[in-house]
Amino acid sequence: MDRARGKRTEAPYVVPNGGAPHRLRVERFQRQLTQVRLGRAARVDPATISKIEAGKLTPTAAVKGRLAGVLGLDPAVLFGSEPPA
């Protein structure tokens, strides 16, 4: 972490075969979005995003669609029913 600016600079922890929770986190990090910013843009509570990324919650189809839309991805790709291009 860049302590002078309070920004995270290291790459996210990579979990082998992490599936959809891992992919959501990676896509969010690549776009330099916090859970709060993604949540506001997608109209999803940041706590819900945290639970999805931790693998503790399976999002509804509506939430999948909103998160994927903000990230510019197809929900089937983001949440694992189709491989990434």
pLDDT tens sequence for the chain (85 residues): 444 555 554 444 343 445 778 899 999 999 999 999 999 999 999 999 999 999 899 999 999 999 999 999 999 889 876 555 6
Structure confidence at residue 17 (pLDDT): 46
Structure confidence at residue 21 (pLDDT): 80
Q: Which CATH fold would you assign to the domain 19-76?
A: 434 Repressor (Amino-terminal Domain) (1.10.260)
In the chain, what are the domain boundaries? 19-76
Burial 63-73 (b: 16+ CB within 10 A, else e): bbbbbbebbeb
Structure confidence at residue 65 (pLDDT): 96
Rg of the Cα atoms in the chain: 13
pTM of the model as a whole: 0.74
